[in-house]
Amino acid sequence: MAGVGPHPAVADVRRAVREALADIGEGRLVLAACSGGADSLALAAALGFVAPRRGLRAGLLSVDHGLQPGSAARATEVAALAPALGLGFGEVLTVTVGTAGGPEAAARDARYQALAAAADRLGADAVLLGHTRDDQAETVLLGLARGSGLRSLSGMAPAAGRYRRPLLDLPRNVTVAACRALELAFWDDPHNADPRYTRVRVRSRVLPVLEQELGPGVAEALARTSKLARDDADALDEWAGTVFRDCALSDTGGQVTLAVQGLERAPGAVRRRVLRRAAIAAGAPSGALSAAHVLAVERLITHWHGQKALDLPGGLAAVRRYGTLILAISPIA
């Protein structure tokens, strides 16, 4: 029938992708990371529709983590879908998953490293990821359970560097409906139902109980909370940047010196951000620098009684001397 548009779910996904690519110039390359699941397959199909209408080049990347029998064949099959989806090419990225941080974190690290390397090699402006509103809700809930700070509760960013997540405002059932409307056979990863993984337990057990006991809309509310938390975290980070610049007496490789007086005047949430930034600038590995470390350094400001130097990750030390806070690779001269 003339005038009949695409299925509403297909239209929603296409609109989300189109909006995510609004700032990318004609002729540039955009890549879709696709596992063959409903979320990433709907995303790749939408990119294949939107890209040529925006004058963009587009391709598909499928990562083989090597964690399941037949994973290489699966990744090859997904990459081969590229022409049918309207994408210029498909490529398989084979990775070796380590053990650091547990299986979920190790697989994620390997995947992002491979995607970044491919984007660099191919000269891509953006890599699209298929995370949905449900994924965002799970991320926020995990952050709450771990007692994480505001930045963690803000969840996944819609855009972070070259990575873009067009589907964060759409629920997972929309991507499933889009695939069915387009007659795309999507793959259900067995790992997505394996209760050994924390996120799977949140998805299959915790969120359903919350929906049952509190009523529908919990996932949407958690995703909305992430947006509010992100706005607050961004504002606090900007404030902390100003305080850091005002308090920094020196900032050289291996040592940062801050004026205590300025840190004393700052609100705690801002001061702790400044201290974390200073420690990382001085050489502390960000992944190893915990909230407990930052709180210990803060006590040199708020509860000063002549303490000795504190040891921090990366061979760093923090010490207060003559109205300054020094963070440097130990021993501090």
pLDDT per residue as tens digits for the range 190-209: 777 777 778 888 888 998 99
The reported pLDDT for the residue numbered 291 is 86
- Between 103-117, 184-198, 290-304, the lowest mean confidence (pLDDT) is in 184-198
* Dihedral (CA of 60, 64, 68, 69) sign: positive
pLDDT at 67 exceeding the cut of 60: yes
Structure tokens that stand for 74 in this block: 């699966």
Q: Quick one: which of 300, 241, 252, 249 has its CA closest to 274?
A: 241
Q: Model pTM?
A: 0.83
- The token pair at 11 is 């239209």
At 331, is the pLDDT very low, low, confident or very high (cuts 50, 70, 90)?
Answer: low
Residue 286: the pLDDT is 81
- Average of per-residue pLDDT across 50-65: 96
Are the C-beta atoms of residues 257 and 325 closer than 8 Å to each other?
yes
- pLDDT tens per residue across span 105-162: 788 888 999 999 999 999 999 999 999 999 999 999 888 887 767 887 888 999 999 9
Going by their DSSP bridges, the two strands 255-259 and 248-252 should be labelled as antiparallel
The per-residue pLDDT for 2 is 53
Residue 310 scores a pLDDT above 60: yes
CB 166 within 8 A of CB 43: yes
Q: How many residues does the chain have?
A: 333
